Chain A
Amino acid sequence: MTPLSASAGRLWAMLLRHLYLLRGSWPRLLELAYWPTVQMILWGFISRFFTDNAALAESWVGVVAGGLIGAVLLWDVLFRSHLGVSMGFLEEMWSRNLGQLFASPLRPYEWVAALLSISLVRTVIGILPAALLAIPLHRYSVFEMGLPLISFFFNLVVMGWAIGLAVSALILRHGLGAESLAWVAVFALTPLSGIYYPLSVLPDWVQPIALALPSAHVFEGMRAVLIDGVFRLDHLAWAVGLNLLYLAIGAGIFLYAIHVARIRGQLLQIGE
């Protein structure tokens, strides 16, 4: 067995661990798809209220409202991706399994790769039903965005990974008392991401801060596609560049937290 295939085998083992968990628990599967679907239904009706009103539909409000479902679904991509990493990590803490994992040949970077992979699986399971259901329910297909949608999706997934790794590092450092961060951390970025409004709405001094977020470039890019029919490569380039930077930082913080946990003896102590 080559080192690469051995590494792939360990990564697959960790993926299997989470797939077994999902397969054995339909409430977990339901929970993944539940909130994105509820959000899609709610914002779909709000969107229809604006677009069905003749006066509003003619205005800019109607144009923007037409993209609300897309914005909601894409925001949930970021949220689910972040949650996928954090939950994958928390499952090991809840089950007091960290000691077993780190006494096995599993390398920390393989664990990171497995967490990112399971996050992608969980995101697709969560978002795809809502995106498909929106087509018959609201006559809205997010897939009509075409190829740009793929870039929006993956940029938000990667940003979610970076946040998830950083939050997991905080939980590893401070214990399960910091668990609620896994649920709320990403919402701090909501006002700056320009999900439902253009960044020009923000005060001048806030806009450069917002533009340091890949999500802000994604949502600006989404509006350019939906309103102007233009795919803004500059926003794509910024989102990709920032994501690579933040993912490297998130992974670095997470790996350092594991190192510190080995110094402090936390791998055997942490649990429910």
Chain B
Amino acid sequence: MRPPSLPKAPSPPAIEVAGLCKRFGEVAAVEDVTFEVARGATVALLGGNGAGKTTTLSMLLGLLLPSAGQVRVLGEDMIRHRYRVLVRMNFSTPYVDLPHRLTVAENLNVYARLYGLAAPRRRIARIADELDLADFLGRRTGALSAGQKTRVALAKALLNEPDLLLLDEPTASLDPDTADWVRGYLENYRDRTGATILLASHNMGEVERLCSFVLMMRDGGIVDRGAPDALIARYGRETLEEVFLHLARSGDEVDARRAPA
């Protein structure tokens, strides 16, 4: 007779951030940020330029060391043990490039091997097919249009089929039709794999479509958080964009009730 199996321990959240701070000299780029992202959720970091979104994403990736606070990703401490989880996560941002002089196929092959994929060529062929990149696999990355580069960056971010995907403005530079297609692809990827997605975006329509939860950032801190519908209702607005504008422009009054974790 088989012994009764132990109940499974609940998985830790995909992302756990507590008291996260990043200071550059006197400037506080991120100040006392605390949040969690459940596994399988799609969450948005919203905020204007300089709000601290990219800095927060960089600390989640381990590219930037926090001045204070804790970051746990997929159950691991990112400050001490980032290499245990980097193979299970990936990211895309317009702030870094892939080498321009390498072809798309060469770049994807290099990154497929960096992520230790067992069959890089097969995976590259599949992702190129899915993201409609097959026609320019042999072209130099630097010769692509901005929209094509964004799709290549997304292909690189999905090569290892990550459990956690960090996306910084994932549809920047894409025409509306392609952007819509990419959003659909990301939805499908999340539903198929159960992956967690944290995205920073300025596109409110994108956030409303993809995300079940929003973290609103301003001046390095989280000023409010909630489901898109709940935020819209809370501020008595029609759209998330109106909420964004309200929060971006009403500094002090929002600071007075800065959202608790």
Contact = CB atoms under 8 A, between A and B. Distances in A.
Contacts, number: 104
Contacts of A20: 102-103, 106, 110
Contact of B95 (A13, A24, A99): A99
Contact of B24 (A99, A262, A264): A264
B99 interface: yes
Contacts of B55: 265
Interface size of A as a range: 35 or more
B62 interface: yes
B96 A96 contact: yes
A10 to B, nearest CB: 5
Given A16-B113, A104-B115, A24 B102 contact: yes
B86 interface: yes
A268 B58 contact: yes
Nearest to B156: A100
B148 interface: no
Nearest to B22: A265
- Binding site of B, secondary structure by majority: helix, strand, loop or mixed? mixed
B111 A104 contact: yes
Interface string B117-150: 0100000000000000000000010000000000
Interface string A249-272: 000000000000011110110010
Given A105-B87, A105-B116, A17 B102 contact: yes
Contacts of B102: 17, 20-21, 24
A16 B110 contact: yes
Interface of A: 1, 6, 9-10, 12-14, 16-17, 20-21, 24-25, 91-92, 95-107, 262-265, 267-268, 271
Given A24-B101, A96-B95, 11 more contacts: A9-B113, A9-B116, A21-B99, A97-B98, A98-B96, A99-B93, A105-B83, A262-B62, A265-B55, A265-B63, A268-B63
Interface of B: 22, 24, 54-55, 58, 61-65, 83, 86-87, 90-91, 93, 95-103, 106, 109-111, 113-116, 118, 140, 156
7 contacts: A9-B113, A17-B99, A20-B102, A20-B103, A24-B103, A100-B97, A103-B90
